[in-house]
């Protein structure tokens, strides 16, 4: 019976040490998260100072928002939850805007001269209609491509040329997001360990009480 109690005590000790390590890890990550958030706020404040008080507020939020970060969750058999972030890569130049401007530019240049020639040459009405419909189709296709590619860098909500501070704030908050997924996983691990430890303690207590009654 004494052996059983020793075994139970050992497993409780081992689990308790593991639990303490987890708590320590959680505290360290929390500290890092708090400093990163503080850095982010400081950068936002500096950006607000240089851009103007109302230039960095809720008023600038876009009317269409698509998440650039998603978190993959998984429940493990131990009762812990896993969280893993996945970031969608933005195209260089902030998404679709740059490409459409480049596409439209040369076409706009070409159209007035061709229209002028068309008027001089007295083209038939049917040909004119065909050209117009094809141009309309091109416009529609451009619009649909922009609809598909709706990922926009949130920095653009606050202007095209934003101060460096706002970019620094963005990178700080990107790190905070990564860290918060890690903390969420750790929190769930801490709670799972706690339940396991409670079970072990109850088992140990049972074995000690039965041992005492037998004696």
Residues that bind another protein (CB under 8 A): 23, 26-27, 30, 33-34, 37-38, 40-41, 44-45, 56-58, 61-73, 75, 79-81, 83-88, 154-155, 166, 169-170, 172-174, 176-177, 180-181, 183-184, 187-188, 190-191, 194, 197-198, 201-202, 205
Q: Distances from the Cα of 153 to the Cαs of 15, 91, 95, in angstroms? A: 45, 9, 7
**b/e map 117-153, b = 16+ CB within 10 Å:** eeeeeeeeeeeeeeeeeeeeeeeeebeeeeeeeeebe
Minimum distance, C-beta of residue 158 to another protein, in the bound complex (Å): 8
Of the pair 123, 202, the CB lying nearest another protein is at: 202
- Using the minimum distance from each CB to another protein, give the nearer residue, 4 or 82: 82
Closer residue to another protein in complex, CB, 55/142: 55
Whole-number minimum distance, CB 192 to another protein, in Å?
A: 8
Burial class (CB in 10 A: 0-12, 13-18, 19+), 89: exposed
């Amino acid at each position: 019976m004494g052996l059983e109690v020793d075994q139970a005590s050992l497993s409780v000790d081992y689990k308790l040490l593991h639990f303490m390590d987890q708590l320590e890890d959680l505290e360290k990550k929390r500290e890092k998260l708090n400093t990163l958030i503080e850095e982010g706020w400081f950068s936002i404040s500096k950006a607000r100072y240089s851009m103007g008080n109302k230039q960095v507020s809720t008023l600038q939020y876009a009317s269409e928002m698509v998440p650039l970060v998603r978190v993959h969750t998984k429940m493990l058999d131990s009762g812990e939850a896993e969280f893993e972030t996945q970031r969608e890569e933005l195209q260089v130049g902030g998404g679709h805007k740059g490409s459409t401007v480049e596409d439209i530019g040369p076409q706009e240049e070409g159209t007035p001269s061709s229209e002028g020639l068309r008027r001089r040459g007295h083209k038939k009405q049917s040909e004119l209609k065909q050209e117009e419909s094809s141009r309309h189709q091109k416009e529609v296709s451009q619009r649909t491509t922009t609809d598909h590619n709706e990922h926009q860098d949130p920095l653009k909500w606050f202007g095209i040329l934003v101060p460096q501070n706002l970019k620094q704030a963005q990178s700080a908050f990107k790190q905070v997001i990564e860290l918060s997924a890690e903390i969420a996983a750790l929190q769930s691990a801490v709670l799972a360990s706690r339940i396991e430890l409670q079970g072990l303690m109850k088992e140990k207590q049972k074995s000690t009480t039965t041992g005492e009654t037998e004696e």
